[in-house]
Amino acid sequence: MRLAIIGTGYVGLVSGVCFADFGHTVICVDKDLEKIETLRAGGVPIFEPGLEELISNNVNEERLFFTTDIKDAVKNAEAVFIAVGTPSRRGDGHADLSYVYAAAEEIADLIDGFTVIITKSTVPVGTGDKVEEIIRARKPDADFVVVSNPEFLREGAAINDFKRPDRVVVGTEDSRAIEVMKEIYRPLYLNETPMLFTNRQTSELIKYAANAFLAMKITFINEMADLCEKVGANVQQVSKGIGLDGRIGRKFLNAGPGYGGSCFPKDTLAIVKTARDYGSPLEIIESVERVNKARKLSMADKIIDACGGSVEGKTIAILGLAFKPNTDDMRDAPSLDIIPALQNKGASIKAFDPESMKAAAQLLKDVEYSDQAYACIEGADALVIITEWDQFRALSLARVKTALKSPVVIDLRNIYDPADMARIGFQYTSVGRPSSV
């Protein structure tokens, strides 16, 4: 099939590449000329494991193309995916749909013959109706169907998630569109990936319900970690103890500094707003949102406490800036709250992240970046681990101890064992665990 993808960011690029790898001919469009030039020159504008090789294979096989000209892409396409950003709208937290609607206008002018238009962006319930209205108003005789097909991939594991998803959700009741969607996802369909066909509203809501639930699960275990610290319990064992119950499950029960990233913060906010608009508030998710925001800031207090009550004049080494490992994405990363809060209390910050320092430099001020972990730690008064990259799990602890001015380690991801750390002589603080159990 011939597919167009509008928006070549994390989701558009990964979707486009994977669809090409399924055998479709895919044209990815973006307004960002630099991004498209990078891709055309064989580069990759984001860090995502495995992406570079997959792009180059599919470009070489002439199944994958990049352009800034939407005309090239949409003319003759049987299906057009909208994968543009839906950030929080400034001021009120609703999803900003201006990019989606602008894309719909542009598509309307170009569709030719029966075309399925698919919202892959995360969009509030009712957005598909509005997209349909926009296109119908602009081109009354167009033959098209608007389908919702939310994306559930995780950055850092995006290719595997896209090619081996837990499920594919498709929101349409139109039989022609259902056939097109089955054809697009045929390799997965044959693979017996569950495909859930729903109406458009249900599909739009499933995406927000999934993210709200996962954000709630993380926030639940984070609050439980705080209680563990007060009562001398170990949150990792609590996670295991409850997670082994099949009704609960073990994933998303790692206590930490609060969730960040390009999805959970904005999506929880948006679903809360939508629910209020419809007079059906989601009070649990409202609390999740509030608790998580406060948690990120409270991590700075935790670090200050671990440093003896003050960081004034101290140098703090930060390992990990991205919101999670294996990505360079800094959107809503906990480091963006923690670092300025420490600086406000008089700390100097040194930092290292394997992939996100370029993006971080745009967002954080007065940070001294190092080119590797030990250089970052050298001479610091304390080490703080914010993101659990694999390379930080395997540090030589003897070397860390020698490099630090004082042996203070604050591990916000629980990647080290409190007993080991105590034995080596660190003053070790983690999340929700007694210091030497």
Pairing of strands 427-429, 408-411: parallel
Return the number of the residue (110 or 410) whose C-beta is nearest ligand NAD: 110
Return the number of the residue (235 or 359) whose C-beta is nearest ligand NAD: 359
Q: Rounded to 5 degrees, what are φ and ψ at 114? A: -60, 125
Extended beta strands in 162-288, E state: 168-171, 195-198
Return the number of the residue (121 or 387) whose C-beta is nearest ligand NAD: 121
Q: How far is the CB of 102 from ligand NAD (least distance, A)?
A: 5
Return the number of the residue (84 or 228) whose C-beta is nearest ligand NAD: 84
Extended beta strands in 193-258, E state: 195-198
Return the number of the residue (71 or 176) whose C-beta is nearest ligand NAD: 71
Q: Which residue has its beta carbon closest to ligand NAD?
A: 9
Q: Which of 18, 28, 228, 263 is catalytic?
A: 263
DSSP assignment of 62-102: T-EEEES-HHHHHTT-SEEEE----PBPTTT--B--HHHHH
Give the count of beta carbons closer than 10 Å to the beta carbon of residue 425: 10
Residue 164 belongs to what H/E stretch? Answer: none
Distance of CA 415 to the CA centre of its chain: 21
Q: How far is the CB of 99 from ligand NAD (least distance, A)?
A: 4
Report the amino acid identity of residue 57: N
Our CA angle for 320, 324, 327, nearest 5°, is 90
11 and 35 Cβ atoms separated by less than 8 Å:
no
CA distance 19 to 185: 8
Place of tokens 């906010």: 269
Q: How far is the CB of 263 from ligand NAD (least distance, A)?
A: 5
CA distance 423 to 433: 16
CA distance 301 to 311: 10
Three-class secondary structure of residue 330 per DSSP: coil
CA distance 189 to 178: 12
18 is catalytic: no
Residues that bind ligand NAD in the complex, under the rule CB under 6 A:
6-12, 29-32, 35, 83-86, 99, 102-103, 106, 121-122, 151, 153, 155, 262-263
Return the number of the residue (115 or 239) whose C-beta is nearest ligand NAD: 115
Q: How far is the CB of 268 from ligand NAD (least distance, A)?
A: 12
Return the number of the residue (106 or 388) whose C-beta is nearest ligand NAD: 106
- Helix ranges (H only) for 95-152 are 98-108, 127-138
User: Annotated active-site positions, please?
Assistant: 263
